[in-house]
Amino acid sequence: MKHKTIIEPFKIKSVEPILMSTEQERIEYMKKAHNNPFLLDSDQIIIDFLTDSGTSAMSVEQWAGVMRGDESYAGSKSWKAMEKAVKNLTGMDYILPTHQGRAAERIIYGYLGGKGKTFISNTHFDTTRANIEYSGAEAIDIPIEESYHSSLIHPFKGNLDTHQLKALIRQKGAENIGAVILTVTNNSGGGQPVSMENTREVSKICKENNVLFLLDCCRIAENAYFIKHREAGFENKTYKAIAQEMFSLVDGAAMSSKKDALVNMGGFLSLRDKKIAQECTNRLIITEGFATYGGLSGRDMEALAIGLKEVFEPDYLHYRIKSTTYLGEKLHKMGIPVIMPIGGHAVYVDAKKLYTHIPPHQYPGQALVCELYIKGGIRTVEIGSVMFGKYDEKGELIPAPMELVRLAIPRRVYTQSHMEYVVETFEEILKTKETVKGYAITEEPEFLRHFTAKFEKL
Ligand code: F0G
């Protein structure tokens, strides 16, 4: 018999209680948090969809690995295990451990960047862009045109526009391109995958122009799932073989292991070129730690090595992608406007389409984030004009292109009944949508305001 229900392919051995709360209590908590869920305490939350980063549940094997962790300063056995796992996956000779993704980014883009350099990506993640711009270089996003249309169905909406890539290399001069970076899956573009065909084309263009080609590979296993099921010729390949093929097309990769390595902390740089690796190792030792631990404990490296294997297990990946799709498609069928097709790690709701009566300067995304918390204790993040809005000379808001709310799903943490609870909360969101009011910002810092800004309901 073939079952319809895709069950979680694990049993729960250790549990972390969720503190239940009433709507009235949450109204009080939210008041104290100035209507910004970043300012809530974690025990005031029922379902935490703030991020899929560093929030995975580890397996029994990983916890056993934690006990085996070798905390030697140099040449630790746990480093050897991590190095072997990363080398096996990426096929590259030089592996540098870092405490998380942005540390790897600071090292590599600090070295490759600088004034006059240009970096080109399908979409630079915020920290990637910040590290590039901090070095004095510029970061340009060129996703394919389809990625700008939230309801349009395309199998690989994370792809990079290769025509624009060629034009940009010509315009800027190949010698001024710091690197081309493919982010797989494309987090800022809705968690959408990149195809092998697109990766091959980008690789070819980079080779012809002698431009460095890198992967931001923090969700490489999820991307491999989409390739196997959507791209011709990959049906019979393993997820790992698909990932290995993708790595074979690039010169290097930066990973935040807090995603697809199923750990709570960790990252790495993987490089082919000896000179770049040496330069990066010097920077690593100055700011992260010795070359055989980066910013990590032995136990972290041990868990990371195991997580990198577990993430490619077919039952795990099938459950992972199907459970994200399950939530997303249920919301879609109910009439909640979501980015389609559903991506790998998150469901993105288009708050501008949901709350058509709330203009961008009253932050429709923030309104939905607050509603989801009050109605269901669900914490999500606004990716719209709160996060990316700017002011003109007159102090008027220049809104972000989209007003999205991200429901990022931690790996191996929530069950199907948690998803049903979220769907039920959205039913109430739909029923009451006309009565929802916008928000005004009452206090904000100069940079990255979404983390600490305070809001007032209008
Ligand atoms: N690249 C991508 C595509 C990411 O999504 C992230 C983090 C990073 C790099 C940076 O890694 O956090 O380990 O320093 N994304 C998290 C998120 C924060 O919520 O999407 P980090």
Domains in the chain: boundaries: 23-52+313-457, 60-310
CA dist 125 and 119 (Å) reads 12
Q: Whose CA is nearest to atom 15 of ligand 1?
A: 53
Of ligand 1's atoms, which has the minimum distance to the CA of residue 127?
Answer: 10
Question: What confidence tens digit (pLDDT) does each residue in 261-309 have?
Answer: 999 999 999 999 999 999 999 999 999 999 999 999 999 999 999 999 9
Q: How far apart are CA 68 and CA 63, in angstroms?
A: 9
Which residue lies with its CA nearest to atom 10 of ligand 1?
101
Alpha carbon of 4 to ligand 1 centroid (Å):
33
Contact 183, 125 (CB under 8 A): yes
Higher pLDDT, 91 or 1: 91
Q: Phi and psi of 5, rounded to 5°?
A: -80, 125
- 292 alpha carbon – ligand 1 mean position (Å): 23
Per-residue pLDDT tens digits for 392-448: 999 899 999 889 999 999 999 999 999 999 999 999 999 999 999 999 999 998 878
What is the 8-class DSSP label of residue 180? Answer: E
What pLDDT, in 10s, does the model give residues 220-276? 999 999 999 999 999 999 999 999 999 999 999 999 999 999 999 999 999 999 999
For ligand 1, residues with CB inside 6 Å are 51, 53, 100-102, 125, 127-128, 183, 187, 216, 218, 256, 258, 267, 408
What pLDDT is recorded for position 150? 86
Can you tell me the mean pLDDT for 54-64?
98
* CA 89 and chain centroid, separation: 20
Confidence of residue 381 (pLDDT cuts 50, 70, 90): very high
Q: Which atom of ligand 1 is nearest to the CA of 408?
A: 19
Q: How far is the CA of 53 from the centre of ligand 1 (A)?
A: 7
Residue 200 CA to ligand 1 center (angstroms) comes to 24
Statement: residue 11 has pLDDT above 80: yes
The mean of the pLDDT values for the chain is 96
pLDDT of 458 over the 90 cut: yes
- The predicted pLDDT at position 446 comes to 80
Taking CA atoms only, the protein residue closest to ligand 1 atom 8 is 101
The model's pLDDT over 16-50, given as tens digits with 9 standing for 90+, comes to 999 999 999 999 999 999 999 999 999 999 999 99
Report which protein residue has its CA nearest ligand 1's atom 18: 53
What is the rounded CA–CA span in Å between residue 9 and residue 104? 32
- Give nearest CA residue, ligand 1 atom 4: 125
State what percent of residues in the chain have pLDDT above 90: 93
**Residue 196 in this model has a pLDDT that exceeds 80:** yes
Which atom of ligand 1 sits closest to the CA of residue 258?
Answer: 13
- Report the nearest atom of ligand 1 relative to the CA of 103: 14
Choose one of 127, 219, 287, 380 to mutate for the ligand 1 pocket test, by most ligand atoms within 8 angstroms of C-beta.
Answer: 127
Reported as a pLDDT band with limits 50, 70 and 90, residue 5 is confident
Nearest-CA residue for ligand 1 atom 1 is 125
Where do the DSSP E strands lie in 25-93?
Answer: 47-48
- Across 257-403, the runs of DSSP E, i.e. the strands, are 267-271, 346-350, 378-379, 381-383, 390-391, 397-398
Q: Which of 181, 187, 380 to mutate to test the pocket of ligand 1 (most atoms within 8 A of CB)?
A: 187
Question: Which pLDDT score, from 0 to 100, does residue 376 have?
Answer: 98
Question: Which atom of ligand 1 is closest in space to residue 100's alpha carbon?
Answer: 13
Architecture of 23-52+313-457 per CATH?
A: Alpha-Beta Complex (3.90)
Q: Would the pLDDT of 189 be above 80? A: no
> For the domain with range 60-310, which CATH number is right: 3.40.640.10, 3.40.30.10, 3.60.140.10, 3.40.50.2300?
3.40.640.10
The answer to whether 365 and 351 have CB atoms below 8 angstroms apart is yes
Average pLDDT over residues 160-180: 98
